[in-house]
Amino acid sequence: MSVVNKGQQDSQVCNPVRLAARGLSAGYHGVPAVWDVDLEVRAGEVVLLAGPNGAGKTTTMMTLAGAIRPLSGTTSFDGAVTTLPMHKRVRLGLGVITERRSIFSRLTVAENLRLGRGSTAIALDHFPELRMRLGVKAGSLSGGEQQMLSLARVIAAKPTAVIADEVSLGLAPIVVKRLLAALRRAADEGAAVLIVEQHVRVALQTADRACFLNRGRIVLSGSAAELKDKQREIEEVYL
């Protein structure tokens, strides 16, 4: 029988599970790409989902987001098992950021921000770098600025949970750190944040916990502090 002390109980009450997968198998055309995945993200924490290409990271995240239906097992959002499609989960407070920069290139930065569900003031508070670019067409921004804009629009809506898939793809290390810092701040303000990130060492400086997938299964998990001392095991996941 497991024993839960009062501190753990208080932490669980104060930090409820916002995203979860239980016994999740998911894939395409009836063929699983991930098997028996158990994963949870609590309010106020950042969880890293990592692994080699083809391990099933994006499949897991998109199933949690509601873009892919599970083959078996369940997904939960905000404490309740759900089969709602992604657009309905977004309306209920899920923020989704993909490697494809979700911007309207012919609209200005200000117009892009106004199309979001949050205020421009909150967006600029998180990314003051965009203040001087408000009148610029989003398509003229650098790749890093475009991803900042995508992230700013999501965070400004004060989501209950955020799923961020490879937000740093193709970006300079200094921009990667900036984006991860913004996601860390979103968690510190109460959101549950799940990230897929290939810059593992940098991401472990931001995350509270991490899970590593290989061939569709979680093969290594733990707190960020624990995993920083398990570099050899992490390397073996990628090999």
Q: In the β-sheet with 17-28, what is the strand arrangement from edge to edge? A: 31-42, 17-28, 72-77, 80-81
Give yes or no for a contact between 76 and 22, defined as CB atoms under 8 angstroms apart: yes
Asked if residue 188 has pLDDT above 90, the reply is yes
pLDDT score of 132:
95
Angstrom distance (rounded) from CA 80 to CA 145: 35
What tens digit of pLDDT does each residue of 24-72 get?
999 999 999 999 999 999 999 999 999 999 999 999 999 999 999 999 9
Interval 100-134: pLDDT, tens: 778 999 999 999 999 988 999 999 999 999 999 99
Answer whether residue 214 shows pLDDT above 50. Answer: yes
Residue 199 pLDDT: 86
The span from the CA of 237 to the CA of 235, in Å, is 5
Candidate CATH numbers 3.40.1280.10, 3.40.50.720, 3.30.420.40, 3.40.50.300; the one for domain 44-65+85-238: 3.40.50.300
3-state secondary structure of 108: strand
Average pLDDT over residues 141-169: 94
Is 143 in contact with 101 (CB distance < 8 Å)? yes
CA–CA distance, 111 with 138 (Å, rounded to integer): 9
3-state helix, strand, coil in the chain (%, to 5): 40, 30, 35
Q: Where do the structural domains in the chain lie, given as residue ranges?
A: 44-65+85-238
pLDDT more than 90, % of the chain:
83
pTM (predicted TM-score): 0.90
Please compute, for residue 98, the number of CA atoms within 13 A of its CA located in the half-sphere on the CB side: 11
